[in-house]
Amino acid sequence: MNPKQILKVSLRKMGIYKMRVAVIIVPVLVLTAISVVVSSELFSIRTVIRDKVLEKMAAEQQVISVTAFDEELPDEYKSKAEQIDGVKLVGFEYDLPVQQVAVDSVDGHIIKPYIVHTLTKKVGDVFSNEPFEYSDANPVPIILSRKALVYQEEDWGGKDEILVSFDSLGSINDLKDQVPVKSVSIRKPSKDLVNKEVEVSFGGLYTNPSYTVIDTDKGSTYKKLSSEQLQHEQKAREESISKYWDYQKLTNPITFKAKIVAIREDLMESAMFVPQDFADIVLNKITTRENEARKSTINGVYLASDFIGSATLDEGLKPTPLAVTNEQVFSLGEVSLFIAIGDDSSSTGKIFIPGLILDDAGHAVADERISLDDLSPLRMDVVISDVKNRRQVSNDLSKALGDNVSVGAFSAISSITMFTDFVNKLMDSLTIIFVIVTIISVVGVMSKIVAEGEREIGIFRALGATKMAIRFLIVGQTLIYFLIALIIGDMLGALSVFALSSKIAHQANALIERGLDYVLPISVHFETVDFLHFDIATVLQQHLLLIVVVALVALIPAYRASKITPVDAMRRE
Amino acid sequence: MNSTKVIKLDSVTKVYKDGDRTVTALDNVSLSIEQGESVAIEGPSGSGKSTLLQILGALDEPTSGSVNIFGVEPFQLNDKELSKFRNETIGFVFQFFNLLPYYSALENVMVPLLLGGVSETDAREKAKTVLDELGLSDRLNHRPSQLSGGQMQRVAIARALGTEPKLILADEPTGNLDKENKAIIADLLASVSKKGITLIVVTHDQLLSERFGRKLRIDGGRLLQPSNEKVKDES
Ligand SMILES: Nc1ncnc2c1ncn2[C@@H]1O[C@H](COP(=O)(O)OP(=O)(O)O)[C@@H](O)[C@H]1O
Ligand SMILES: [Mg+2]
């Protein structure tokens, strides 16, 4: 029997054995469609991760952060780290005690990183394409963490007053939706932000908020302030501050031209990085300005500053009860300075005066300038020569430096590798299920078809068909049904991928924006095309495997069929 | 002459084993049939007529005895040779027509031709010609379910004739037909015989058996009339 005849018989018989053939076709078709969709989406996810996430993180993978738990990092740690195999270079990071940092404008918005770090040139060069150093002639190169790329946006929806009722809050996203003042992430890919010139400002006074929040036990009421109220607030602040400082001098921040040279995608903090040699310049300018702005010693005024780290207070200055215990000022996450006007803590008005510096020794509004030498390193950046050794080097660092430090062993790449491994296993499991289902349905259905077609096979035999021809017929018939299922399944799968891709892209964006953003600072925007990849190689491979399996399994009913004798055709109906 | 004896059965016995019961369907049957002869096999139900025909048609192997058909001992052949032998030498007409239900009349007739390696085009032409000769040119594309019993049996005869076999075997070909169709099929088979094709027909039908050169009676698996008793030879 030639293939054409086999095809003809198979197709004609399909008309008779609709339900039986459906038992082969439908599960295979469904599984094929699922395979196409799953492999395609997994392929898309892998591609997306590779192109949109890993590539971004490539530079970050080269740097391992070492942080001291409670102490400063001793100098000797640097030499200890440098001796470890696979370590290329080591640099200390300092956190600048500078408050109220703003970058204007990043993609048209003002962003305010919470903290400013310094990076040595060599460490900075890992992230940056141009030398990470300061020179008078050029803009200051800055690196921003992805988490810093957030701006504030107000949306009152035409109202002056909004009650955010606690009862109505199901999740953090509900809160996000209802509160009129929102933090919005800038999701531009780093290539669109890098090389942009911006203006960085240090110090200066916060603008007074344009609304108040009144908390009750029912919820929070956000209320817009009228222009009279705003003016009144402004005036009160100016009067209080002017007693001790030149208000104008404090109001204006110190600004520099800057250029974004890199975006760090790996950090969970809102930070800006500046070259280490730029640190002294900033510190110098700010302390000088503060000294100049100060009109008189502040007698009987409670004063504290809460820049990162701790500061004891200068003589004659007493802490506000709010921010200070045991004469130690702790960071509360805000970069600000509290003063209490009056003689004691119960007196009126606490005013934020950002831009003032206390050094480590607690010299508030220092008379002398402070420099980087006055600060202690809080983080050590260890640059490794090969990303593959990241885990090994992390372990070695932990061993060498002891329990006092935390070594940033977390690697987005390793967790992503784990994820893609899982994804591959998923596809493998799907194929195994597929093989099992196929074997069961093929053997079951084809045996049934053979048994019921005894008479017909007998006729073929009586008319001169060889046993081999009958085997070919059954194997061929099985393969034809199977191929039909595969083809329809592939088409359905492809259609589903087309139908799903925009939804998946939408969901993926929503997931990143509303959830993942808190966990991993991946800032990517997905397009429909990102989810339109087809993993043709995997699908073909799976199809081929299945076709071979089906051909082999079909031999069981085929041999049974070839045993049917022509005499069986003579049986009564 | 020996050479004209194209079919020779010698002491053929067929025993069916059905569980622990054994049935001797044919008991030591010997017979010979000459080239171009037309033979009717008669006998009561269960007497072994079909079994004999199956052995003559190389469809089923005897338990013992020898079979020689057109100089070939079919049961000595391997599967491939035997299949080719069935395809080329023998045409079979069954009581229940045994047409393939999902094929048209034309395609049913084409099946043995295609199995014999005839090209699709030639097979189609040949099948058309034969069906035309049997008066079925307006039923070529009908499925068996769309045909009457008489038409189905004519298609079956066309299928048997298509490969131009030397021997046609028919097992109660009119058994399931009305009177009118019985006559048509009888005429047809008689004309087949006239073409010089050796014809062996199992039948209860007096009308049909009267048309053939020789009658064989079989009862309880035994041949009643001696095989060499020749009544008349029309060829
Ligand atoms: N496949 C078989 N298995 C067991 N017994 C059979 C088989 N085929 C035929 N027989 C028996 O052999 C005998 C002859 O059968 P058969 O040749 O069909 O008779 P006929 O065609 O004359 O009616 C019957 O008793 C029948 O029951
Ligand atoms: Mg019978």
- Pick A12's closest partner by Cβ from B57, B84, B102: B102
Residue A342 DSSP code = S
> Looking at CA atoms only, how far is residue B114 from chain A in angstroms?
7
Peptide bond into A496 cis (omega under 30): no
pLDDT at residue A488 tops 90: yes
What domain range is B202 assigned to? 5-223
Give the CATH number, domain containing residue B132: 3.40.50.300
pLDDT band at B27 (very low <50, low <70, confident <90, very high): very high
Question: Under a CB-based contact definition with an 8 Å cutoff, are residues B203 and B218 in contact?
Answer: no
Query: CB distance A469–B102 less than 8 Å?
Result: no
pLDDT at residue A146 tops 60: yes
Number of separate domains in chain B? 1
pLDDT at residue A67 tops 90: no
B142 falls within a domain: yes
Name which of A205-219, A280-294, A338-352, A426-440 the model is least confident about.
A338-352
Write down the pLDDT at residue A305: 36
Each residue of B82-129: pLDDT tens digit? 999 999 999 999 888 889 988 999 999 999 999 999 999 999 999 999
Write down the pLDDT at residue A411: 56
Residues A358 and A431 placed together within one structural domain of the fold: no
pLDDT at residue A24 tops 70: yes
Q: Is A465 on the interface with B (CB under 8 A)?
A: yes
Q: What is the mean pLDDT of residues A111-136?
A: 91
Question: Under a CB-based contact definition with an 8 Å cutoff, are residues B136 and B166 in contact?
Answer: no
Name which of A230-234, A332-336, A495-499, B137-141 the model is least confident about.
A332-336
Each residue of A389-402: pLDDT tens digit? 888 888 898 888 88
pLDDT at residue A353 tops 50: no
Query: Looking at chain B from residue 156 to 175, which residues have their Cβ under 8 Å from any Cβ of chain A?
Result: 159, 163, 171
Q: What is the mean pLDDT of residues A187-193?
A: 83
Write down the pLDDT at residue A194: 92
pLDDT at residue A152 tops 80: yes
pLDDT band at A172 (very low <50, low <70, confident <90, very high): low
Question: Under a CB-based contact definition with an 8 Å cutoff, are residues A381 and A91 in contact?
Answer: yes
Query: Which residue in chain B has the smallest CA separation from A570?
Result: B94
B234 falls within a domain: no
Could you tell me the distance, in angstroms and rounded to a whole number, from the CA of residue A175 to the centre of ligand 2? 88
Percentage of residues in chain B having pLDDT higher than 70: 94
Write down the pLDDT at residue A306: 33
Percentage of residues in chain A having pLDDT higher than 70: 76
Give the SS3 label for residue A111: strand
- Pick A16's closest partner by Cβ from B83, B101, B114: B101
Q: Does ligand 1 lie within 6 Å of residue B44's CB atom? A: no
Question: Under a CB-based contact definition with an 8 Å cutoff, are residues A9 and B111 in contact?
Answer: no
Q: What is the mean pLDDT of residues A337-360?
A: 42
Q: How far is CA B177 from CA A274, B154, B185, B186, in A?
A: 104, 11, 9, 11
Residue B184 in tokens: 């048509």
B230 falls within a domain: no
Q: Note the residue count of chain B.
A: 235
Residues A191 and A267 placed together within one structural domain of the fold: yes
Q: Parallel, antiparallel, or unpaired for β B38-42 and B214-219? A: parallel
Query: CB distance A463–B103 less than 8 Å?
Result: no
**Per DSSP, which regions of A140-195 are E strands?**
140-145, 150-154, 161-165, 181-185
Number of separate domains in chain A? 2
CA nearest A459: which of B121, B34, B96? B96
Q: What is the 3-state secondary structure (H, E, C) of chain B?
A: CHHHEEEEEEEEEEEEEECCEEEEEEEEEEEEEECCCEEEEECCCCCCHHHHHHHHCCCCCCCEEEEEECCECHHHCCHHHHHHHHHHHEEEECCCCCCCCCCCHHHHHHHHHHHCCCCHHHHHHHHHHHHHHCCCCCCCCCCHHHCCHHHHHHHHHHHHHHCCCCEEEEECCCCCCCHHHHHHHHHHHHHHHHCCCEEEEECCCHHHHCCCCEEEEEECCEECCCCCCCCCCCC
pLDDT at residue A322 tops 60: no
pLDDT at residue A312 tops 50: no
Residue A373 DSSP code = G
pLDDT band at A558 (very low <50, low <70, confident <90, very high): very high
Q: Note the residue count of chain A.
A: 573
pLDDT band at A53 (very low <50, low <70, confident <90, very high): low
pLDDT band at A338 (very low <50, low <70, confident <90, very high): very low
CA nearest A567: which of B59, B86, B121, B14? B59
> Looking at CA atoms only, how far is residue B232 from chain A in angstroms?
31
A83 falls within a domain: no
Residue nearest to atom 20 of ligand 1 (CA): B46
B233 falls within a domain: no
Last residue of a domain, one of A375, A399, A423: A375
Q: When comparing pLDDT for A362 and A539, which is higher?
A: A539
Within 13 Å, how many C-alpha atoms sit on residue A452's CB side?
10
Query: CB distance B92–A461 less than 8 Å?
Result: no
Residues A151 and A287 placed together within one structural domain of the fold: yes
Each residue of B33-84: pLDDT tens digit? 999 999 999 999 999 999 999 999 999 999 999 999 999 999 999 999 999 9
> Looking at CA atoms only, how far is residue A451 from chain B in angstroms?
16
pLDDT band at A211 (very low <50, low <70, confident <90, very high): confident
Name which of A43-52, A194-203, A557-566, B5-14 the model is least confident about.
A43-52
| Strand (E) or helix (H) holding A305 | strand A302-305
pLDDT band at A551 (very low <50, low <70, confident <90, very high): very high
Distance, in Å, from the CA atom of A233 to the CA atom of A527, rounded to the nearest integer, reads 46
Query: CB distance B86–A463 less than 8 Å?
Result: yes
Residues A292 and A184 placed together within one structural domain of the fold: yes
Write down the pLDDT at residue A321: 32
Residues A433 and A284 placed together within one structural domain of the fold: no
Residues A480 and A360 placed together within one structural domain of the fold: no
Q: What is the mean pLDDT of residues B147-156?
A: 92
Percentage of residues in chain A having pLDDT higher than 90: 24
A67 falls within a domain: no
Q: Does ligand 1 lie within 6 Å of residue B25's CB atom? A: yes
Q: Does ligand 1 lie within 6 Å of residue B45's CB atom? A: yes
Within 13 Å, how many C-alpha atoms sit on residue A184's CB side?
14
Q: Is B101 on the interface with A (CB under 8 A)?
A: yes
Other beta carbons within 10 Å of A432: 10
Q: What is the mean pLDDT of residues A123-150?
A: 91
B228 falls within a domain: no
pTM of the complete model beyond 0.80: no
Q: How far is CA A507 from CA A54, A212, A420, in A?
A: 21, 35, 19
Q: What is the mean pLDDT of residues A106-111?
A: 92
A171 falls within a domain: yes
Q: What is the mean pLDDT of residues A98-110?
A: 86
Write down the pLDDT at residue A368: 54
Probe target for ligand 1 pocket from B21, B49, B51, with the most ligand atoms within 8 Å of CB: B51
pLDDT band at A182 (very low <50, low <70, confident <90, very high): confident
Residue environment code for A276-305, b if the CB has 16+ CB neighbours within 10 A, otherwise e: bebbbbbbeebbebbeebbeeebeebbbbb
> Looking at CA atoms only, how far is residue A478 from chain B in angstroms?
18
The residues that bridge with B201 in the sheet, in sequence order, are B40, B170
Percentage of residues in chain B having pLDDT higher than 90: 69
B229 falls within a domain: no
Maximum Cα–Cα distance across chain B = 51
Q: Is B75 on the interface with A (CB under 8 A)?
A: no
Write down the pLDDT at residue B14: 95
Q: When comparing pLDDT for A2 and A475, which is higher?
A: A475
Q: When comparing pLDDT for A418 and B195, which is higher?
A: B195
pLDDT band at A361 (very low <50, low <70, confident <90, very high): very low
For residue A570, the chain B residues in CB contact (below 8 A) are 50, 54, 59, 94, 98, 171
Residues A118 and A247 placed together within one structural domain of the fold: yes
Query: CB distance A467–B114 less than 8 Å?
Result: no
Write down the pLDDT at residue A315: 36
Write down the pLDDT at residue A343: 43
Last residue of a domain, one of A350, A375, A400: A375
Distance, in Å, from the CA atom of B60 to the CA atom of B230, rounded to the nearest integer, reads 27
| Strand (E) or helix (H) holding A91 | strand A87-93
Last residue of a domain, one of A322, A357, A375: A375
Query: CB distance B92–A462 less than 8 Å?
Result: yes
pLDDT at residue A271 tops 80: yes
Handedness of CA B125, B130, B134, B140 (dihedral sign): negative
- Pick A13's closest partner by Cβ from B50, B96, B102: B102
Distance, in Å, from the CA atom of A55 to the CA atom of A458, rounded to the nearest integer, reads 65
pLDDT at residue A300 tops 50: no
Residue B174: which residues within 8 A CB-CB, separation 6 or more?
B153, B181, B182, B185, B186, B203, B205, B208
Write down the pLDDT at residue A520: 54
Distance, in Å, from the CA atom of A317 to the CA atom of A340, rounded to the nearest integer, reads 11
Question: Under a CB-based contact definition with an 8 Å cutoff, are residues A534 and A42 in contact?
Answer: no
pLDDT at residue B163 tops 90: yes
Distance, in Å, from the CA atom of A179 to the CA atom of A182, rounded to the nearest integer, reads 7
Q: What is the mean pLDDT of residues A273-291?
A: 85
pLDDT at residue A425 tops 50: yes
Q: Is B83 on the interface with A (CB under 8 A)?
A: yes
Q: Parallel, antiparallel, or unpaired for β A302-305 and A161-165? A: unpaired
Q: What is the mean pLDDT of residues A475-479?
A: 91
What domain range is A520 assigned to? 3-57+415-571
B187 falls within a domain: yes
Residues A145 and A228 placed together within one structural domain of the fold: yes
Residue B20: which residues within 8 A CB-CB, separation 6 or more?
none
